[in-house]
Amino acid sequence: MSDKIIVSPSILAADYGKLAEEITKVTEAGAQYIHIDVMDGHFVPNISIGVPVVQSIRKVTNAVFDCHLMISNPIDYIDAFVKAGADLISFHVESNSDIGQTIKKITSANKKAALVVKPNTPINVVFPYLKDISMVLIMTVEPGFGGQSFMHDMLPKVTELRQEIEKQGLNVDIQVDGGVDDTTATLCKKAGANVLVAGSYIFKSPDVKKAIELLKS
């Protein structure tokens, strides 16, 4: 786990007509990661962006590309996202791909692997894989759409995971995604999260720099 709080603005909430400018704005304001939500319209009921967009925006920034694959068969797309410029690839334990094999495919490409759990999935499903991954993403909304309300009942899951990571003596980040703002971020950090995904809160803010600083503080 990083000692500092990492902010990962979700470009799902950005203005796609000026995506390069939006990314530059948040990274210059202090964001360390860029969260890229990839949806296939099958695993989740929405379609977002894919490999060509990742490839295009890679030219804009050196920030860590945090790619969240909300797709049914993530193992089939790892090579493409690696080639496009992903640094960290997270995929769902609920997907159809074999968890161990998918992790290995990501780490074999010298990229960081992360597991994602939906709200209804018990957190202990990730415990056997903690030694092989860099991060766990706990969804604090149902995945698929931005702008949803934070699910407070996910906080005990964050605490349980942090305790297990410490019990195993590992250095694994905990990311939260969904309904994160300065108020809910405080709760998430207290529970043990250190990587915060925020979309609307950052991109719709009149003062992006201040919004990011509040998440980090």
Residues annotated as catalytic are 37, 177
Closest CA to 204 of 146, 153, 163: 146
Separation CA 59–CA 215 (nearest Å)? 27
User: Within 13 Å, how many C-alpha atoms sit on residue 181's CB side?
Assistant: 13
Are the CB atoms for 120 and 153 separated by under 8 Å? no
Task: Kindly state the tokens that stand for 187.
Answer: 């709760």
Query: Which segments within 20-153 are labelled E, that is strand?
Result: 33-39, 64-70, 88-92, 112-117, 135-139
DSSP state of 88: E
